[in-house]
A and B are shown apart, each in its own frame.
Chain A
Amino acid sequence: MKQQIHFLCAAAILLLSACSKNSSQTWEDVKTAGRYMQKGVDAIWGKDYESRMLTSDEEFLGPYDDDFIPLRDSDLKQFAASDTALPQPRGIPGQRGFPSLDEFYLPPDDLRSIFQALHFETDSHVLHDRAEIAALTKLAAHLKKNPNLYLVIEGHTDQRASASYNMALGMRRANYVRSFLVKNGVDLNRIYTVSRGKEQPIANGNSPEDWKLNRRSEFKIYEK
């Protein structure tokens, strides 16, 4: 018995240390493995975090104006409240009276404080800074007061990850901000999103401060 305990201890030490290169990398690996295994265990008990495919194109008739076949409602219900999916605006930019995105412009100086850029942590699309959350709440109130104001949210990233992944991450950030504004009462049909990935940095240095400046969401407006 004692021998088995010693053997297990040695095996545990081996597992925890053998692949290590540095502490942060090991921690990332442990987190990834933990989440991956937890979802597998949950799936055994019938708890399904994963999205799934439709079994046939006819199986789901989407909402009236859907222009794609979405995943099942039961799959999407698993999404956290903070991660609600919102349909894109009904109007296509530049068509049927909706402004073209080329017509949007940077907010004038007297509105810059309301439309200030928001900043994100590395590889994150959620705002954590209380002051920036408060600023975004203030922006929502301003948009509600001005129903003729249209908004474009640009999602940007820093330059450290790959260009392709950063395009998707920029898209994630812009849609998170849009979702926040809509939850605070802004009409979703007035807010468009675009991703710039790491293609338009504002700080070209390689310091953490430069990276933070680039991990941002910016706004452009159009008044009808």
Chain B
Amino acid sequence: MWKYISLLLLPFFLFSQELEVRLPTRSSLKPIYLSNLHTDPSQYDWRNFEELRATFEFDLNAGGYFAVASRLDDLESTFRYPEVRAAFNLAIWKKQPYSHAISIQVAQNRFSAVVFDISKGTSKKYPEFALSGNLDSDRRHIHRLADAIHKDLTGVEGIASLKILYAKRMKNPHADGPEWHSEIWVCDSDGANARQVTNEKGYCMSPGFFPKEKEGADFYYVTEKNGQSKICRSRLSDAKGEVWVSLKGNQLLPSVSQKGNQVAFITDAAGRPDLFVQNIDSKGDPIGKARQLFSAPRATQASSTYSPDGEQIAFVSDKDGPPRIYLMSVGSPKQTSKPRPALLTKKNRENTSPSWSPDGTKLAYSAKLDGVRQIWIYDFKTEEEYPLTASPENKENPAWAPDSLHLIYNTEGEDACELYLVNVNHPEPILINKTSGQKRFPTWETR
């Protein structure tokens, strides 16, 4: 009997394939209404008004909780300026599907916003701010306003006012020297207001912000200015990088713990690409010697990321075959047990660029699936791995925003490398920063 059942099932075992079923789901984003930007005649360029409204809409949409609805003439006519709160007709809005309506106006070059909670029938006016006429500066005010509204409506800090660091790779304009240059740039969370913050005229990669409490430097990065790869630190306001981790050989792929008390990196100081850690003080200066944390025969170690408490580290190693992500304790001088790396990501091969979410619940990484590197999530609670992206471009270097809800990553193509913002609950990636050059290794400002 068993013999026949086994033979009957054999073809299914041999030719079984993973079956992926996608079901359409209704969006859980709450629809909100954002009015036209009502303006009085002023000196400010009207084109910038449209830009400011677009920035505000982008911020509200990208926050991950709301979807800004299309504007309707009928509804626009219900706003009576300048005293918009007094004339607000709640009865009309109650018939609409929106949870909130936001009216924005500029009067005498001052920008103001009022948020109406339609279900509660309440409203709140936000502090006005003066428009300077400098679009970059005014956009920063808009980002802060969007974050304040986001916090009030959701209880969660928004990400609109945070900055993003990244490396920008460009063809070397000079005939002599290498074909490519790469410098570190910073931009707003929507990709606008981009500016170069290093001036190495060489090859810079892997930038990261220091936690806010650090003094003396805002960010770190890897540069090949002197031939070998060294980890440097610098300020956003001053492009004078100084070597931060001084070891012989090359140092690559730095990752600072979320508490800001340790940096992990890969170095060949001992003749192989090994994982090292270096303790750092409150000013960001190294304390004592760097420690060789992990090395394995014939293996290559690569990118690492700390758990929020700084006690564990996830890192890439090919010690057992194709590169995968392992987890091990960082240890402390008092620890007596032998720490051993445990294999974490088992579903795919070629797993790289791990990034631990600030709330500690998830690990984002890049993994090859059907020949394309996609962004994957490892959920520490369920111990499950699932893909976040599906488009045909290779994707690398995911980095979590402080809200543990948004990721930024870069695509990696022969002609273009672009930055994308994605919300883990609504994974429709948004392209940001449509400027020239190959944008890579993005990372968020910490809070």
Contact = CB atoms under 8 A, between A and B. Distances in A.
B336 interface: yes
A194 B320 contact: no
B6 interface: yes
Interface stretch (A46-54, A107-115, A128-136, A138-146): A46-54
A71 B322 contact: no
A88 B13 contact: no
A168 B301 contact: yes
B95 to A, nearest CB: 52
A195 B296 CA distance: 19
A59 B2 CA distance: 61
A170 to B, nearest CB: 9
A13 interface: yes
B2 A7 contact: yes
Interface in B350-365: 350, 352-353
Contacts, number: 238
B199 interface: no
A21 B20 CA distance: 13
A14 B270 contact: no
Contact of A87 (B182, B270, B291, B321): B270
A36 B300 contact: no
Contacts of A86: 271
Interface in B326-377: 329, 331, 333-336, 338-341, 343, 349-350, 352-353, 366, 373
B290 A76 contact: no
Nearest to A167: B252
Interface string B264-276: 0010111111001
Contact of A204 (B15, B294, B373, B414): B414
A51 B293 CA distance: 8
Interface in A131-172: 152, 159, 161-165, 167-169, 171-172
B228 A194 contact: yes
Interface string A117-133: 00000010110000000
Contacts of B252: 167-168, 171, 195
Contact of A68 (B182, B247, B266): B247
22 contacts: A18-B16, A32-B349, A52-B340, A53-B291, A53-B294, A55-B336, A70-B292, A87-B248, A88-B249, A92-B248, A93-B226, A123-B318, A163-B440, A163-B441, A164-B302, A165-B316, A165-B353, A174-B268, A175-B273, A192-B228, A194-B224, A204-B414
The 3 closest A-B pairs by CB, nearest first: A101-B227, A32-B321, A88-B248
Interface of B: 2-3, 5-6, 9-10, 13-18, 169, 178-180, 182, 203, 205-206, 224, 226-229, 246-250, 252-253, 266, 268-273, 276, 288-298, 300-303, 316, 318-324, 329, 331, 333-336, 338-341, 343, 349-350, 352-353, 366, 373, 396-397, 412, 414, 440-441
Given A43-B340, A206-B414, 19 more contacts: A19-B18, A35-B321, A49-B297, A53-B293, A68-B247, A71-B292, A83-B297, A87-B269, A88-B248, A93-B228, A100-B226, A104-B227, A161-B323, A162-B352, A163-B396, A164-B253, A164-B316, A167-B302, A193-B250
